[in-house]
Amino acid sequence: MEILIYGTINSVALALYALGFALVYGISRLPNFAHGALYVLSGFIAWSALNTLKLNYLLSVVIAMAVTALIGAVIYRVFLIRVRGMEISEIIASYAIGLAILEGLRWGGFKGMTYTLPPFIEGSTAIAGISVDYQRLVVIVIGAALVAILWLFTHYTRIGLALRGMAQDERAALMLGIDSDIMAVVAMGIGSMLAAFAAILLLPLGNIVVESGYNVLILAIAVCIVGGLGSWIGAVLAAFLIGFAQILTVVYVGAHFQMVVALLAIILTLILKPSGLFGQQKELEERV
């Protein structure tokens, strides 16, 4: 039972990490290696708004999300758009941005003290004899709601449909009057906002530390690769797969191996089935 509850929570957390990454990759084929950095950055912005500017909680959350979305869009518009299509340059450039943000925060932002965000609701409850704090339940509920909202957004709004059109066939989308550059900026903005959203939901469960930026990136990549890059449903299912695998290793093998599971999942998936479990990528294109 404990495994079931904490496995579900962990899986939802992984799905939240990965959604933004999957969205950006799915739409503009950009492996956004700055994803983890944006995650930590938004936590830092929320913390600063809350503690330095003394704003109320809701307002600082909104500010953090908006500012992170803006930063993501600006990063794309200024830097990444210039290397669009050159996969390796995209990886190196976005990774350099992520590194600069994270190490910059380590140098100028987080020093000495521990930084925490307050949870939405304090306290805990017991489910089947196991105590679970409310924040974790909130994570599950909002995580599920978010997936639903994203699905509705991409199926029933103009921008959402335009984004999907671009993901499916960029040239056809261009012919129908969808500006792929603007859409890519929008996608990056939404992706960054999702990273911020994940940060605000999940950071209250622990401290804000710079290292989590790297871990979030690895976990997001793991989920997306196992699920198949570009496939959202795959990403959600893979989040559950890796989430439960992680919790099982923690329970039966040891907490040290938690990250090993994610890394092993990436390596094995890439070696055995590079298109991922539910990938729509043409397998032959990636493999010789």
Partner 1 sequence: MSAGGERRRERIDRGIKVRTAGIYALMSWREMAYLVAPRVLLIGGLLLLPLILPGMYWKRVISIVCIYALLALTFDFLAHYVGLVSLGGAFFVGVGGYLSAILNTKLGLSPLICVPTAALAGGAVCTLLLLPCLPLRGVYFAIVTLMYPLFMARVIEALDILGGTDGIMGIDSFPSQWAEDYFVIIAVLLFLFGLRRLVNTDLGLVLRAVKDNDQAVKASAMSITHYKVLAVFIASVIGCMAGACLVHIYMWAGISTFALDFSVLPIAATVIGGSGTLVGPLIGCLILVPVSELLRDFGTLRIVFYSLILLAFITFRSEGLMIYGQRKYHQVERWRAI
Interface residue list for partner 1 (CB under 8 A): 31, 79-80, 82-83, 87-89, 91-93, 95-97, 99-100, 103-104, 106-107, 218, 221, 225, 254, 256-257, 259-260, 263-264, 266-267, 270-271, 274, 286-288
C-beta of 173: minimal distance to partner 1 in Å? 22
C-beta of 20: minimal distance to partner 1 in Å? 17
Residue placing its CB nearer to partner 1 in the complex, 50 or 217: 217
3-state secondary structure of 14: helix
Q: How many CA atoms lie within 13 A of 159 on its CB side?
A: 10
Residue placing its CB nearer to partner 1 in the complex, 150 or 218: 218
Q: How far apart are CA 65 and CA 172, in angstroms?
A: 32
C-beta of 126: minimal distance to partner 1 in Å? 32
Structure tokens that stand for 32 in this block: 């956004």
Residue placing its CB nearer to partner 1 in the complex, 60 or 249: 249
Residue placing its CB nearer to partner 1 in the complex, 162 or 229: 229
Residue placing its CB nearer to partner 1 in the complex, 90 or 183: 90
* Token pair 């550059």: residue: 181
C-beta of 88: minimal distance to partner 1 in Å? 5
Structure tokens that stand for 125 in this block: 């409850």
Q: Collect all residues with Cβ–Cβ distance below 8 Å to 100 and sequence separation of at least 6.
A: 37
C-beta of 156: minimal distance to partner 1 in Å? 31
Q: Which residues of 130-157 are buried (b: 16+ CB within 10 A; e: fewer)?
A: eebbebbbebbebbeebbeebeeebeee
Residue placing its CB nearer to partner 1 in the complex, 225 or 236: 225
C-beta of 174: minimal distance to partner 1 in Å? 23
Q: How far apart are CA 65 and CA 197, in angstroms?
A: 6
Residue placing its CB nearer to partner 1 in the complex, 93 or 237: 93
C-beta of 171: minimal distance to partner 1 in Å? 21
For residue 130, the cross-strand partners are: 127
With beta carbons less than 8 A apart as the criterion, state whether 47 and 208 touch.
yes
Q: Collect all residues with Cβ–Cβ distance below 8 Å to 225 and sequence separation of at least 6.
A: 265, 266, 269, 270, 276
